[in-house]
Amino acid sequence: MRRIAAVARNTFREAARNKILYSLLFFALGLIISALALGQLSVHEDRRMIRDVGLFGVDVFSVLIAIFVGVNLLYKELALKTVYTILPKPIARWEFVLGKWLGVMATLVAQIVIMGLVLAATLMAEGGAAAVDAALAKALWLLLMNVTIVTSVAMFFSAFSSPFLSGLFALGVFVVGRSIPDVRALGERIGGGAGKLLGPPARCCPTCTCSRRRGRRWVGRRCRSMARSWGPAISDGPPCMR
Amino acid sequence: MTDGDPGSAARASEPDVVLRADDLAKTFRLGFFRKRVDAVRGVSFSVHRGEIFGFLGPNGAGKTTTLKMLMGLIFPTRGRAEILGRPVPDRQAKRRIGYLPETPYFYEYLTPEEFLDFAGALCDLPSAVRRQRADALLARVGLDHARGRPLRKFSKGMLQRIGIAQALMGDPEVVVLDEPMTGLDPLGRKDIRDLILELGRAGKTVMFSTHILPDVEMTCDRVAIVAGGRLRSVGTLASLLSPRVLSTEVVLRLAGAATPPALPEGARRLPGDGVTAVELPAGADVDGYLRAALGGGATVVSVTPRRESLEDVFVRQAAAGAPGSTPS
C-alpha cells in the first residue's frame, strides 16, 4: 500500500507542477465565472443559466484534463525511461499502474472540487445560499465518475501509443460513449440488419452518460451494463446523495 | 573464455553466488518487417558475494541489455537469471538490490530530497528511515548543497550522483550500476570509484558496466568482457592478463661523445626529449644491450618491461566480437 501511495503521490505532484494543467483550470474557471454575464442575458433564468454553463464547463474541462493527463503520464514514464528507476524496486507492475491511476484521479478530484467550489460561489453570488443544493454536488460526483472512465481509457491507449493518438482514441471513445443512447435509438428506428449493426459499437464502448439532466435536476442514470461503466452504485452517487 | 563457460557458471546451490546469468539471450524485432537483432546471444556468468565485478564491453556489446534482463526490466528470449538465489523478477530479491540505469532520467520536477524519499517509499521504508538515509546519502554523494534544487537544474554528473544515491536508498546487498562513470569529470569519477570501493569494503556486492578501463583496473576483483552479444572472457584481472613481457622500453642519456649501441633485430627507436628511448622486442637480450650502452658511456635512465594490459585484452576481445569476425 505504501508503494502504491508513493506512486500516486508522485503522480499527483507531477500533475500539480504542470503549468499546462493550470492553464486549462484557469480557462474553466473563467468560463464558469463568465456564466454570471450570460445569466444577465436570460429572462428570469439567471440561476439555471449559470448552473448549466458552469456544469458544462466542469464537464468539458474535466474530460479534457483527464485525457491530457491520462495520455501523457504513463507514456512519459516509458519514453523518458523513468520507469527503469522504478521497476527494479520491489514494486509490482500492477501496483505501479494502479498508483499512476490513483494519482491522476486525485488530480481530477482536486480540479473538480476547485471548479465546483467556484461554481457554487458564482451561484451564491447570484442567488444566495439557496442556489446551492445537493443536486449540484451529485452532478459533480457524476461528472467525476465520467472522468474515471475517460482517464482509464486514456491510460489504456497510452500504454502502447503516442500521446497524440491516445488522445484521439480516448476522445473518440468518449464521444461515442456519450452518444450511446442516441446510437441505440437510431438502431431501433432503422431496424433490420442495418439497425443491428449499430448494436456492437454501443455495447463495446463504455457508457459516458452516467450524468444526465432530467428536468431541472441533475440525476444519476442507472447504467445498464456494469462492464460498460463503473456500475449503478457509482453512477447513482454515494448513498448520502441518493 | 577464462573461467566462465555456460556449463561452469556458478550453480544456484553455490552459497556465495548472488547473481547468476545462465545462457541469457535477447532478440529484438525491429521495424515494419520485424528485422531480427540479436542483442545478447547466450551469456553465462556469476557474481560472488562481496566482490566488485566489472562488466566490460564496447558500445553495442549487449551490456545494458544483459543488465536490464537481470533487473527484470525486459524478458529474455532464452536462458534464465537468478539474483540471490531467486529467479528474476522476484519481489523479495528486489528488496535487496540497488540499480542505477544507464543515462538515468529522473522526475525533473522533484528535488533530490523528494526523489530519495520516493525511492525509499518504493522500498517500503518508514518515513523516519527515509529521511535519515536521504540525508546521509546526499552528503555521501556530495549533493548536500543542492538538496532544495529541482533535478531539472542538475548537471549530468549531479544526476549520476543522485542516481547512485537512489540505488543505495534501500541499503541493498547487491548494487548494479550501468555505466556509473559516464558523464563525470575526473574528480567525479574518482568519487564514484571511491564509493564503489567503500561499498566493497562494507561487504556489498557491486557489479558495474563500463568501458573506462583504468577504473576497472583500480576497482574490480573480477571482470567479464562482452562483445557482439557474447561473453568473451570472465575472471580475475590476473587470470585475464598474460604475465609474459611483450617488449622492454629502455631510456638512455648520452653524455658528450657517448654513442648509442646498435639496435638489436626487431627493436625500434622511440621519440624522446633529450634522451634516447628504445623499445626492445620480447626475447631480445636486454642485459646485453644495457652492457653495451654502459660500455659506450651512456647512462641508463629507466628500463620498463611492458606486459599485456587490460586495454590489450579488451581491444582483442572487442575485435573478436566485431561484425564479420568469427565467434569464439
Q: Does B119 touch chain A (CB under 8 A)?
A: yes
Tell me which of B194 and A34 has the higher pLDDT. B194
Task: Write the pLDDT tens digit of every residue in B266-303.
Answer: 888 888 777 889 999 888 888 999 998 888 888 889 99
Instruction: Identify which of A17, A84, A90 has the shortest CB distance to residue B124.
Output: A90
DSSP for B17-47, please give it.
Answer: EEEEEEEEEEEEEETTTTEEEEEEEEEEEEE
- Across chain A, mean pLDDT equals 78
Report the sign of the C-alpha dihedral through residues B163, B168, B169, B173, in that order: positive
Q: What distance in Å separates the CA atoms of residue A55 and residue A53, rounded to the nearest whole number?
A: 6
pLDDT for A134: 82
pLDDT for B51: 93
- Across chain B, mean pLDDT equals 85
Element (H, E) at A154: helix A134-158
CB B98 within 8 A of CB B167: yes
pLDDT for B15: 57
Q: Which of A82, A85, A91, A95 to mutate to test the interface with B (most CBs of B within 10 A)?
A: A85
Q: Predicted confidence band at A230 (pLDDT cuts at 50, 70, 90)?
A: very low
Are A87 and B72 within 8 A, CB to CB?
A: yes
Tell me which of B280 and A241 has the higher pLDDT. B280
What residues contact B142, with CB distance under 8 A and at least 6 apart? B161, B191
Task: Write the pLDDT tens digit of every residue in B69-87.
Answer: 999 889 999 999 999 888 8
Q: Predicted confidence band at A242 (pLDDT cuts at 50, 70, 90)?
A: very low
pLDDT for B327: 42
pLDDT for A224: 39
Tell me which of B186 and B116 has the higher pLDDT. B116
Q: What distance in Å separates the CA atoms of residue B101 and residue B108, rounded to the nearest whole number?
A: 16
The CA-CA-CA angle for residues B172, B177, B179, to 5°, reads 170
ipTM of the complex in this document: 0.74
pLDDT for B118: 93
Residue A194's Cβ-count burial label (10 Å; 0-12, 13-18, 19+) is exposed
Domain span including residue A35: 2-241
Q: What distance in Å separates the CA atoms of residue A150 and residue A64, rounded to the nearest whole number?
A: 9
Are A82 and B95 within 8 A, CB to CB?
A: no
Q: Predicted confidence band at B99 (pLDDT cuts at 50, 70, 90)?
A: very high
pLDDT for B323: 58
Q: Does A20 touch chain B (CB under 8 A)?
A: no
pLDDT for A232: 36
Task: Write the pLDDT tens digit of every residue in A122-173.
Answer: 888 877 777 777 888 888 888 888 888 888 889 888 888 888 999 999 888 8
Q: Does A105 touch chain B (CB under 8 A)?
A: no
Count of beta carbons in the 10 Å neighbourhood of residue B273: 5
pLDDT for A9: 92
Least CA distance to B88: which residue of chain A? A88
Q: Does A3 touch chain B (CB under 8 A)?
A: yes
Tell me which of A148 and A25 has the higher pLDDT. A148
In percent, the amount of chain A with pLDDT more than 70 equals: 85
Task: Give the ranges where chain B is alpha helix by DSSP (H).
Answer: 63-70, 91-94, 112-122, 127-140, 156-168, 186-201, 213-219, 237-240, 286-295, 310-321
Q: Measured between CA atoms, how close is B236 to chain A, in angstroms?
A: 28
pLDDT for B32: 79
Q: What distance in Å separates the CA atoms of residue B19 and residue B305, rounded to the nearest whole number?
A: 38
Q: Measured between CA atoms, how close is A94 to chain B, in angstroms?
A: 13
Number of domains chain A is built from: 1
Least CA distance to A76: which residue of chain B? B107
Output DSSP code: residue B266. T
Instruction: Identify which of B68, B91, B114 has the shortest CB distance to residue A90.
Output: B91
Ranked by mean pLDDT, the top range of A216-220, B127-131, B240-244, B309-313 is: B127-131
Q: Does B75 touch chain A (CB under 8 A)?
A: no
Instruction: Identify which of A10, A89, A91 has the shortest CB distance to residue B107.
Output: A10
Q: Does B106 touch chain A (CB under 8 A)?
A: yes
CA distances to A185, A198, A225, B165 from A222, rounded to whole Å, are 17, 21, 9, 52
Distance of CA A144 to the CA centre of its chain: 5
Residue with cell 634522451: B275
Least CA distance to B164: which residue of chain A? A85
Task: Write the pLDDT tens digit of every residue in B223-269.
Answer: 999 888 888 888 888 888 777 788 899 998 887 777 778 888 888 88
B39: cell is 542483442
pLDDT greater than 80 at residue A228: no
